Amino acid sequence: FSLALYAVKVRAEAMQKASEAVPSGMLSVIGRREANYKFACLEARKHCESLGIENPICEISNYLFPDSRVIAGHLQALEFLQKNARKYYFTRTSMLPVSGAFHTRLMEPAVEPLAEVLKSIEIQKPLVCVYSNVDGKKYMHAKHIEKLLVKQVVSPVLWEQTMHSVYERKQGTEFPYTYEVGPGKQLGAVLKKCNLKAWKQYNHVDALEDEEAAET
């Protein structure tokens, strides 16, 4: 457990350092069905190039649920998208309170430090099914886990696709009970958008309320 936390610390510090190198951020976007996120990102990159920015980054970093994406990259690109939201059929845009463009190529400086620390840790195959948000599929073995943990730093989070994998069922099969533990019900709200039938078996557990009840 302590080794895992150390790996998280190395990853976090490397990502923070990468964030400080380039003014960047993340933009949460709700779009209409006509929205073409990749085309919008392309035009935002062209805008950055017109400002003299070399090799600008603006790409989808998180697939949350149908009609919702997080776009990350240079701040100038995100500002361009906000100003031109109507043109791209974005109904709502909101800058996330984060320091950088996580899950994009701007995080490449963080790849090597994480890869090095993972080599020193013995990773074992999970006892239960664990899914990677790099490809939305189950981890297969230790080397597979190590490879995808590194790739995850610069790859978009396929949350919507992962939800489809986790809750894939034959017709007539009951869905499992799903518990969201901790403050907030955001993951439950996303599940409802991705799979309404699975959401009907969803429950929220507020850990703080349970602790307070135990103390009294």
| Residue 28 burial by Cβ neighbours in a 10 Å radius (0-12, 13-18, 19+) | middle
Q: Which amino acid is at 94?
A: S
| Nearest partner of 198 among 171, 177, 172, judged by Cα | 177
Amino acid, single-letter form, for residue 62: N
Q: Which domain holds residue 200?
A: 169-215
149 in a structural domain: no
Predicted confidence (pLDDT) per residue in 152-210, tens digit? 999 999 999 999 999 998 888 999 999 999 888 999 999 999 999 999 999 999 877 65
Q: Is the pLDDT of residue 211 over 70?
A: no
| Domain final residue, candidates 86, 106, 126 | 106
Last residue of a domain, one of 64, 91, 106: 106
Which of residues 88, 106, 124 is at a domain's end? 106
Q: For residue 76, tell me if it sits in a domain.
A: yes
Q: Please check whether residue 4 lies inside any domain of the structure.
A: no
Tokens at 152, concatenated: 């995850």
| Tally of structural domains, the chain | 2
Q: What percent of the chain has pLDDT over 70?
A: 96
116 located within any domain: no
